[in-house]
Structure 1
Amino acid sequence: MDGTGYARPVIPQGDPPTQDAQVRPQSLMLSFLGVHVLNRGVAVFSGSVIDVFARVGVSEEAVRSTLTRMVKRDLLARHRDGRRMYFGLTARSAAVLEDGEHRVWRSGAVNNDWDGTWTMVGFSLPESWRSLRHDLRSRLVWGGFGPLQNALWVAPGVVDVTDLVHDLDLNEHLKVFTARTAKPTEADQIVHAAFDVPAIAERYRAFLRRWDRDHPLPGAPDDLARQLLLHTEWLQLVRQDPRLPAEHLPRDWPAIRAEQVFRTLAEAYRQPASSIAESVLETIPVEGSSAGV
């Protein structure tokens, strides 16, 4: 759980967070599914998905490859209707998307309710376990942790580390604590020692440079394309953000303005994008979130 009492993100296997600003097709696909498929009880024809993704410059080959990979990762299920193939959610992808919905609309980008608690994780892995060490660090970053010092990581709030790393089978190699700072250590020191605060701020400023204007993305063909790109970029931002306590951040923290811009644009695009999607998407009803072919 995070500092607000909600579960930390469900992590799609093989798709850890990245600092790279380039948007990957799977990230776009998850945004598309979250906005237009989640909780609707439908599967979407692959051809209409290709039509949507062409609007943001993703090729048919890339879309088909992404759909195939997501099936293999149990993030999509195939549904055949005649000669046509449709794709619907699985229980796993529904959990991923519901987590994203929570991060975007409920927990928010600004942590104003931190209670002073930190979760600390210490670990010791053999040198030969390089791949596992990489996976563990990726999971910790995803869960809002930063490296305080060698093999000691820290995150604001109470984090369910067991859930975060459950499939890595490393419980015997981890030491997990919840703690508060004590003199002479100050919380502000922890924030700036374990996290690259300027880099986090710059990601939000980059978002504002693209979106905080009268007519964002003038080259996009329509509001469905803008909606898809907006939601994808914002979700990547909030999932890379450890939600550091606002009281230990600059007063002009750019996430405040960025979240206002996101919410305003998301509402502006919602109805026109929905109308376009209804005219483009061909769907069939499916029973349950994980129904198979």
Structure 2
Amino acid sequence: MTPEPHAPPGHPASARIAAEQVNFPRPLKGSASQHLVVTMLADYWRGSTAWLPSRMIVSLAGSLGLSPSAASTALSRLAGRDVLEQSNAGRTSRYRFTPEAKARLDIGVGQISGFGSEERRWDGMWTVVAFTVPESSREMRELLRSRLKSLGFAPLYGAVWVSAWDTADELEDSCRHLGVDNYAIFRTPETELRGRPLIEAWDLAEVRRQYLPFIDTYGPTARSLDPQQLSGEEAFRLRTEVIDAWRAFPWEDPGLPPELLPREFPLFQARRIFVALYNSLEETAATYVEETAVRLAPEVAGEIHAFRVRA
């Protein structure tokens, strides 16, 4: 789960590259067990080094609708992906995020918290990359395309990708790491472009449509919600569902500057709904998680630090 879309400038290259190695489950539209467990754990224990007993994780996952077997399988598979590391204490399995996963989560948290904010202003400059990857290196090409998309790029043409933000340093680091050496990265002002507008690299109608189900689902709740009327379990479940749905958007939306988007673009309405719901449920949900820890894993009570999004 950066104040800037997609890639946080200034993040150390070594940490970023190490983070790219972690095989996180990709955010999805609609919950999957591994995805949901990562969301839940990152929400309350991203910065903790404590070992979390599986019985507590499974219990909390049950509040999100996951069966014990589904939650246990998700934990095992996340450990296999190097997202979690596992340790046994007697007959108890325990888990925590690997250091590399925590580095990746630090990036992701910035993406989620800053995504859709209208505060950042555009300088009128575009980043353009042209590259060639041999047909024999198809896997390298796909990795590069995935990285480009994660940085907010889109293909104007097959091997010419564009971004409205200055992510040249992050992209150059990734090219070197992936072994791509036949590329050119440059910055160009909007005023010097001729021909096809670079904004046409994105299908804005498709980007717009992805927010409508989120607005329809959570908008009425945000308008009428009284967090005091919810039980701790209900607040925990709703808060996790909301951020789980929201964190998929940076994968599909390039985070274009507000100056380039039509007025009343639904991203901004969706963000207001997300922030209102997520932050208002923080106290009630965190209390429920802490009570669960006291009951099932008192050794980690007090390790909970619920995340809060900047309004």
TM-score category, normalised to shorter length: 0.7 to 0.9
Structure 2 unaligned runs (5+)? 301-311
Does residue 127 of the first structure (1) align with residue 127 of the second (2)?
A: no
Deviation per CA, 1:167-186: give whole Å up to 9, x if none.
4222x132222222344538
Does residue 176 of the first structure (1) align with residue 185 of the second (2)?
A: yes
Residue among 25, 47, 58 paired with 1:50: 58
Residue among 20, 29, 33 paired with 1:25: 33
- In the comparison of the two structures, how many residue pairs are matched? 279
Residue among 183, 203, 211 paired with 1:196: 203
Deviation at 1:24, TM superposition (A): 2.8
Per the normalisation by structure 2, the TM-score is 0.79
Q: Counterparts of 1:107-146 in structure 2 under 5 Å?
A: 108-110=116-118, 112-146=120-154
Deviation at 1:141, TM superposition (A): 1.0
**Secondary structure at 2:187's aligned position in 1?**
strand
Q: Partner of 1:210 in structure 2? A: 217
Deviation at 1:151, TM superposition (A): 0.5
Q: Partner of 1:272 in structure 2? A: 284
Deviation at 1:90, TM superposition (A): 1.7
Deviation at 1:165, TM superposition (A): 4.7
Does residue 100 of the first structure (1) align with residue 92 of the second (2)?
A: no
Per the normalisation by structure 1, the TM-score is 0.83
Q: CA RMSD in A?
A: 2.9
Residue among 155, 171, 180 paired with 1:161: 171
**CA distance in 1: counterparts of 2:121 and 2:284, whole angstroms:** 35
CA separation of 1:85/1:17 partners in 2, compared to 1, >3 Å: closer, same or farther? Answer: closer
Deviation at 1:131, TM superposition (A): 2.4
Does residue 64 of the first structure (1) align with residue 72 of the second (2)?
A: yes
Structure 1 unaligned runs (5+)? 286-293
Structure whose residues are more often helix by fraction: 2
**CA distance in 1: counterparts of 2:106 and 2:63, whole angstroms:** 25
**Corresponding letter in the other structure for 1:258:** A
Question: Conserved in 2, the CA contact under 8 Å of 1:79 and 1:85?
Answer: yes
**CA distance in 1: counterparts of 2:25 and 2:237, whole angstroms:** 25
Does residue 185 of the first structure (1) align with residue 194 of the second (2)?
A: yes
Higher relative contact order (CA 8 A, sep 6+): 1
